[in-house]
Amino acid sequence: MKPVIFGLSGPSLTADERAFFADADPCGYILFKRNVETRAQLRALTHSLRALSGRSDVPILIDQEGGRVARMGPPEWPASPAGPAFDALYEMAPISAIEAARANAMAVGLMLAEVGINVDCWPLLDVCQPDTTPAIATRAYGSEPMRVAAMGRAIIEGLRLAGVVGVVKHMPGHGRAIVDTHYHLPTVTATEAELEIDLEPFRALNTAPMGMTSHIVFEAWDRDRPATLSPIIINDIIRQRIGFDGLLMTDDIDMKALSGTAGEKAAGALAAGCDLVLDCWARMEEMVEIASLVGDMPAASRDRLDRAMATVAGTTPQGDIAEFIAKRDSLLALA
C-alpha cells in the first residue's frame, strides 16, 4: 500500500484511474465537488473504491466543514454553518455552543456515512488572531484555545458516533498565517512562548485519530522548512510537544506554498515524518510520479491507520439528520 491519498477526476472512475489505482494501491481517496452529484451516484462511487482496494475500511475522505468548505451541498444535501456561528453562540452560552457543534457533527456524519464516506477533514483547531487570513478566519472556531478545543472535541465525537473519523487540522496551527497557503508560503515570526497558544487545542485533543499538517514556516522552530516538510516540527513539536500519535497526513501538496514537483514534495513530506501524502487534483502524470518515488507504507504508519479506522469499526450510525439539524438550529438561534 502506498502512503498517499489520491483525488479522482469525476463522478466515476475512469478506465485509466481504475488501472492505475489497482496497480499503485493508494492508502485511500479524497472527494471534491467534481466527484459529487447525487446520493445514488456517490454511493456507487464509494462502493467502487472499496471494491477496487479490496479493503472495507479504505479511507474515503472529504472536506465537509460547513460554510464555504462543503463538497456536498444543496439541493441534494442540506447546508451547514461554518465555525464562526458556533463561536458567536459560545460567547453567551458555552454549553449550548458545544451541544450545537455536536449535533451539527452528527448531522454531517450521518450524511457522509449514508453515501459511504468514512473520513471528514474536520475540525479546524486553528486559533484565530486579529490578522488571520480569511481562508482560515471564515472557518475557524475562535481565538480562545480552550473554546476551540471544546468545540473540536464535540465535532470529533459527533462524527465518530455517525461512523466517520475526524481529522484535526492544521497542525501545529494556522491562525498566525496572514496569507492563504493555496497561493503563498506564510512565514510566522511569533516566539516559541507565543506559539504555545496555537498548540493548546492540539495538545488538548492529542488523542484524535487523524491530523493534518500546515504548509507554514515557523521561524521559532525551523527557519528553512514549512511544517509539512520539517522533521523538527513533525517530530519535536507535533509528535513530542503536542503528544500526537495519530495518523498524520499533509495538507494538499498541490498548494503553492510548497515548491518542487508533486513527487518531490510527496517524498519530502514522508521523509520528514508524515504518515500520508494528500494529493487532491487527479492529474495522472503527477500521481504516477508520486507512486514512482514513494515506497510502501511503513509499519508504524500502517498501525496508526489501523488504529484510526478502528475507532469507527462496527459503528451503526443512528439518528435522524433532520432532528440533529433542528437541534443545532434551535441552539444557534439563541445567538
Could you give the maximum distance between any two Cα atoms of the chain, in Å? 54
From CA 169, how far away is CA 184, in angstroms rounded? 18
Q: Identity (one letter) of the amino acid at 177?
A: A
Residue pLDDT, tens place only, 289-323:
999 999 999 999 999 999 999 999 999 988 999 99
Backbone angles phi, psi at 331, to 5 degrees: -75, -45
Q: Which of 244, 301, 277 is nearest to 28 (CA)?
A: 277
Q: Do 164 and 112 contact (CB within 8 A), yes or no? A: yes
From CA 253, how far away is CA 30, in angstroms rounded? 13
Q: Identity (one letter) of the amino acid at 149?
A: A
Active-site residue set: 182, 251
Looking at residue 318, its pLDDT comes to 87
Pairing mode, if any, of strands 64-66 and 69-70? antiparallel
Q: Could you check whether the bond before residue 170 is cis, i.e. omega within 30 degrees of 0?
A: yes
Q: Along the chain (335 residues), what's the average pLDDT of each consecutive run of 10 residues?
A: 98 98 98 98 98 97 97 97 98 98 98 98 97 96 98 98 98 96 95 98 98 98 98 98 98 94 97 98 97 97 98 92 98 95
Looking at residue 171, its pLDDT comes to 98
Would you give the distance in Å from CA 197 to the centre of its chain?
Answer: 21
Q: What is the number of other CB atoms lying within 10 angstroms of the CB of residue 22?
A: 11
Q: Flag whether the pTM goes above 0.75.
A: yes
Looking at residue 96, its pLDDT comes to 98
Q: What is the number of other CB atoms lying within 10 angstroms of the CB of residue 193?
A: 8
Q: Which of 146, 168, 163 is nearest to 108 (CA)?
A: 163
Q: How far is CA 131 from CA 138, 168, 188, in A?
A: 12, 22, 12
Residue pLDDT, tens place only, 86-142:
999 999 999 999 999 999 999 999 999 999 999 999 999 999 999 999 999 999 999
Angle at 252 between CA 243 and CA 181, to 5 degrees: 90
C-alpha cell at 206: 492529542
From CA 181, how far away is CA 104, in angstroms rounded? 27
Q: Report the C-alpha dihedral over residues 243, 248, 252, 258, rounded to 10 degrees.
A: 60
From CA 229, how far away is CA 265, in angstroms rounded? 8
From CA 261, how far away is CA 284, in angstroms rounded? 13
From CA 85, how far away is CA 80, in angstroms rounded? 10
* Percent of the chain residues past pLDDT 90, beyond the cut: 98
From CA 31, how far away is CA 180, in angstroms rounded? 21
Fold (topology level) of 2-127+140-169+247-332: TIM Barrel (3.20.20)
C-alpha cell at 287: 500521481
From CA 210, how far away is CA 125, in angstroms rounded? 13
Looking at residue 72, its pLDDT comes to 98
Q: Do 213 and 274 contact (CB within 8 A), yes or no? A: yes
First to last CA, the chain: 48
